[in-house]
Amino acid sequence: MASPERTTDPPVGRQAPTSAFWPVFRVSLNNTFGLSAGRYRYLVRRERLWEPLLILLAVGSLVFTFSLLGYHVARAFIVSGAQLGQPEVAFTFALLVSQALVFFLGFFLVLSVLYFSTDLDILVPLPIRPGTIVAAKFGTVLVSEYLWVLLVLGPTAVAYARLVAGGPLFWLSVSAVALLAPVVPLALSSVLSLALMRFINRRHRDLLMVVASVIVIGVVLFFQMSLLSVPESELPAYLQRILSGQLRLVDAVGRGFPPAVWGTNVIASPDPATRLGSLAALAAVSLGAWWLMLFLGGRVFYGGLIGGEEIARRRLGPAELEAARARTMELVRQGSVVGAVFRREWRLFMRVPLYVMNGFVPSLIVPAMLLFPAVASSDPELARLLSLLQGAGTTRFYTALGFAALMVFLAGINTTSCTSISREGRQFWISKVVPVLPEEMVKGKMLFLAVTAVFSVAPVVIVFIIVARPPLLLLVGATVAGLAASLLALLLGLLVDIVRPYLTWTNPQQAVKSNLNAVIMMGVELVLLVGLGLTAYGLHTRLGLAEGPTLVCLLGLIGLLWVAAWRATVAAAADLYERRDF
């Protein structure tokens, strides 16, 4: 009688060993980036082969543009630092920028993959340690964050090699630093995410999570700025210490985040002992941050995950019961269908911090980047530029159009419109079966997009007022034109997503980060901005129309394009909701 075959599966009730990390990591990596689906679609079935080419073209052009800009910025830092005998300060700035990007973007990505992925329903019941799941998800996010490190550190290394020195040891050091650079900031953001989700586990969790995320980032920014700031009374002595060599510029710049200083020493220090010591310190701190993240994840991950399902219950008194019934009746009364669609869109959007980040954060960061130098800097060149922007005539008009174009740009890059259908994912069948006309669905979604457009436009208008100080009529005209063009861009983005929705994602990050619609939307937005810009130039400069008539003509053109886009969107929605199967 044959003996029963042995298995290596863990007994029921016992968790799998840490060797389960690699299978979970491969599955998470595959789900996040859609590797199997892409391989099957493009290599096996050979469908839509134009999509990879379009992605390569769009991503390649963006990487080239960003790298070229980063190269020139790094070159300026190297030249300025070389005058003080410290050109390596460019690496300190590059590491600080890349690690700040990893921290802020990673904070929301970690929340997305740890608490909103659909594969958690499969992973959590398996006999796998929670720390293993956290480690695999962390590794998945880490892979995507290496892009930011390479985009910032790569051009800096090229500029340094051309202007100062290169060689095999230099590039080996750059590779080692690039490998370790994102670990500490991403581990810190993961620790904050785990702690945040563990303690926010009651009613209104979605709203509290977004608010708490903003507060955490604000506190970290304030702490970082306070570390980097120098009291005005101490500024002359501080500069004198730098000029005399008593204080290294690298240490002064990186004092708020020592890993940036260690990374700079690994790359550019002439002392081998300093290089090895800095590399050991960077590796040790990275390992310690990794261990802290795993330690905390193993203890609070399941608590934070299950906490989202907890409902606080207690026995209600007669008055409270009557009030609850009244609130329920208010909810079930027949109201506007468009309003109901709008409320659903808003709740689904606010539920995932990653969507909120893509929707609102760029609208705050870009205007802030324009405002802070204009308000805080005393550079005479910048003062002359501001004086030019605040002048009269053609320059003032084109400045207003530039701010209007910025409104359109920010409304388009937040991916809110071009993922409006995709964000529903596999639950899209609910929208197909509810008794709502496709046109009503489009109206409700556009109402939500209009609200996001107002949030995107408002910071730009504030910066426009402070920086350019336009007259009232020009301010109103530019704002109306920018808002109208932004709504047109959002409608076109909604049309793109209706035509080709991406509904098979396994975590919310894919719906935004792995969605080709975002790339298509960039192309559509570019064509729209170039077309409207050339029209304004032809009317105002070539034909000699005044500012008011030019804006009226632009609004008329936007209105005609809006009508055509609306009809196309409603027709596509009818096909999507009534005839197309998934």
Domain locations along the chain: 33-307, 337-579
Better-scored residue on pLDDT, 302 or 284: 284
State residue 344 phi and psi, 5-degree precision: -65, -45
Nearest to 87 by CA among 167, 169, 163: 163
Element (H, E) at 517: helix 516-537
pLDDT band (50, 70, 90) for residue 526: confident
- The answer, as to whether pTM is greater than 0.75, is no
Average pLDDT over residues 232-259: 56
Contact predicate 424/526, CB 8 Å: no
**16, β-bridge pairs:** 128
pLDDT band (50, 70, 90) for residue 404: confident
Average pLDDT over residues 403-430: 86
pLDDT tens-digit readout, 8-20: 444 444 444 447 8
**Alpha carbon of residue 30 to chain centroid:** 21
Contact predicate 135/21, CB 8 Å: yes
Average pLDDT over residues 102-107: 83
Lowest mean pLDDT among 323-332, 419-428, 509-518: 323-332
Enter the tokens of residue 108: 């929301």
Which residues have CB under 8 Å from 518's CB, separation 6+?
415, 418, 419, 512
Residues 377/378/384/387 CA torsion (nearest 10 deg): 70
Is the pLDDT at 373 greater than 90? The verdict is no
Lowest mean pLDDT among 102-111, 137-146, 385-394, 530-539: 385-394
- Average per-residue pLDDT for the chain: 79
pLDDT for the residue 466: 80
3-state secondary structure of 314: coil
Residues 394/400/403/407 CA torsion (nearest 10 deg): -130
Average pLDDT over residues 323-351: 74
Rounded to whole angstroms, the Cα distance separating 344 from 436 reads 13
Better-scored residue on pLDDT, 367 or 563: 563
Enter the tokens of residue 232: 């005005």
Contact predicate 278/263, CB 8 Å: yes
pLDDT for the residue 557: 94
